[in-house]
Amino acid sequence: MLHSKICRKFAVATPVDPSRDTNLDGPHAQMPTQAMIEMKTVCVYCGSHDGANPAYVEGARILGQAMAREGITLVYGGARIGVMGVLARAVLDHGGKVVGVIPKFLTDLEGTYSDVTELVVTHDMHDRKRQMFERADGFVALPGGIGTLEELVEMMTWLQLGQHRKPIVVANLANFWQPFVDLIAHMGDEGFITDRLPISFEVTDRAEEILPLLRNGVRMRDIA
């Protein structure tokens, strides 16, 4: 859990309420809200390796199945390997739509799925990130490496500076992102994140809660 001072003062994240119904198969699953309708596409940042903990790929699989079930299009980095590949395969295998965005130099290195809904091959990394940003209604960070970290931090920075109002969810599966979350709290404690330019994102350790948190972020944005 985040440092309580940071949560209150800087709105870094909102702890998940365990009493809230976030079961995607629960009684509210068939009751779409306006926010659900407006969240058509989600960009997910994640690694090109499986990682050391099986919880990483399992969380990706759960999220992918949920996105397909709810008709939410996945935008991701285009690779067929690692957490990225598991996520995209889960969406596709359950009838969902997938947009892969990958720079040309990575197509041979990481490979791509031939059955994605759309494959966008970009000139470079900058164009890749721009296209992923423009297509998305919200962002999720699953476990990954330095590239995943860079993508997440860029979206957080743009949100902090008022360049977008799209919700961000950090999927802290098996506490993968906890050192990063603690670092953000430390930055606030040391005066480098202030209430003048707060950072706003949600953190959860359960893949089942990712989409409900994103929908809530869209709803809060639209009524703000």
| pTM of the full structure | 0.84
pLDDT at 23 over 70: no
Q: Which residues pair with 203 in a beta bridge?
A: 170
102, β-bridge pairs: 121
Q: What is the CATH number of domain 4-12+33-223?
A: 3.40.50.450
Cα(39)–Cα(35) distance, integer angstroms: 6
Q: Give per-residue pLDDT as tens, 164-204.
A: 999 999 999 999 999 999 999 999 999 999 988 888 999 99
CA–CA distance, 10 with 5 (Å, rounded to integer):
8
> Where along the chain do its domains lie?
4-12+33-223
